[in-house]
């Protein structure tokens, strides 16, 4: 809202905002997107890759603004960052590109780091590529990654409860709507087992996590107004 106000838009005066919040339940998104497309809104804004994908499938005419997604080129939203093409534009948080730096910082905290547990969602577009990028960075640092795949909260709880068998020295997550929505559960787990943990966004640290390195979501949303 700060970004909109800075451009002269005030909700209730010269702009109407139709809010939709899936509350972490991605199955709600197709219906929400259909609602706003049917309402013929002027612009659709979202930071969730699945929501952008559904919007792209349902309209080629309503402008769609990405308020920070993982890999808009890799998932086919835009042709390139410089020349998006189509009806989608916006911002990316470039999270996969920062995986190497996150591991580097984690290794500063744990100098003899050899094994890192990585929590990620293989069903999230862009996450397989992000995990591959993280693997390449880990190989260069002679660090072994322990893949912990989770597609819902129940699977997150299951893989976290069994992590002791893998004996990791640290914890790392590839953020997506699923892990972000369950960040309290994830940070509490890492604290309980005294695992040094690196997160993608500050919100995990606000929830009790050790440290994060990444772009600022509030800043991305402010810039999305432009």
pLDDT on residue 56: 93
pLDDT on residue 216: 85
Positions in the chain whose pLDDT score sits under 50: none
For the chain, the domains span: 2-92, 96-212
pLDDT on residue 185: 96
The CATH-assigned architecture of domain 96-212 is: 3-Layer(aba) Sandwich (3.40)
Beta bridge partners of residue 88, listed in sequence order: 64
Long-range contacts: 203-212, Cβ < 8 Å, 24+?
204/173, 204/175, 207/183, 208/184, 209/183, 210/109, 211/105, 211/109
Q: Which residues contact 122 (CB under 8 A, 6 or more apart)?
A: 128, 131, 149, 151
pLDDT on residue 95: 65
Tell me if 2-92 shares its fold with 96-212.
yes
Q: Quick one: 135 exposed, middle or buried, by C-beta within 10 A (0-12, 13-18, 19+)?
A: middle
The pTM assigned to this predicted structure is 0.74
Fold of 2-92: Rossmann fold (3.40.50)
133 and 97 Cβ atoms separated by less than 8 Å: yes
* Cα–Cα distance measured from residue 89 to residue 140, given in angstroms and rounded to the nearest whole number: 34
């Amino acid at each position: 809202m700060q970004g909109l106000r800075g451009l002269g838009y005030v909700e209730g005066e010269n702009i109407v905002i139709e809010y939709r919040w899936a509350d972490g339940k991605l199955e709600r998104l197709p219906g929400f997107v259909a609602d706003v497309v049917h309402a013929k809104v002027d612009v659709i804004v979202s930071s969730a890759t699945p929501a952008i994908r559904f919007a792209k499938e349902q309209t080629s005419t309503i402008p769609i603004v990405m308020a920070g997604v993982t890999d808009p080129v890799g998932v086919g939203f835009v042709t390139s960052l410089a020349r998006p093409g189509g009806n989608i534009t916006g911002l990316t948080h470039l999270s996969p590109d920062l995986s190497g730096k996150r591991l580097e910082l984690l290794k500063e905290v744990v100098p003899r780091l050899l094994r890192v547990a990585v929590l990620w969602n293989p069903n999230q577009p862009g996450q397989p590529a992000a995990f591959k990028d993280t693997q390449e960075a880990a190989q260069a640092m002679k660090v072994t990654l322990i893949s912990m795949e989770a597609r819902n909260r129940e699977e997150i709880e299951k893989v976290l409860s069994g992590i002791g068998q893998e004996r990791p020295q640290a914890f790392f997550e590839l953020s997506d709507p699923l892990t972000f929505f369950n960040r309290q559960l994830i940070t509490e787990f890492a604290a309980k087992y005294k695992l040094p943990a690196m997160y993608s966004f500050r919100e995990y640290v606000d929830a009790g996590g050790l440290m994060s390195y990444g772009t600022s979501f509030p800043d991305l949303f402010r810039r999305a107004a432009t």
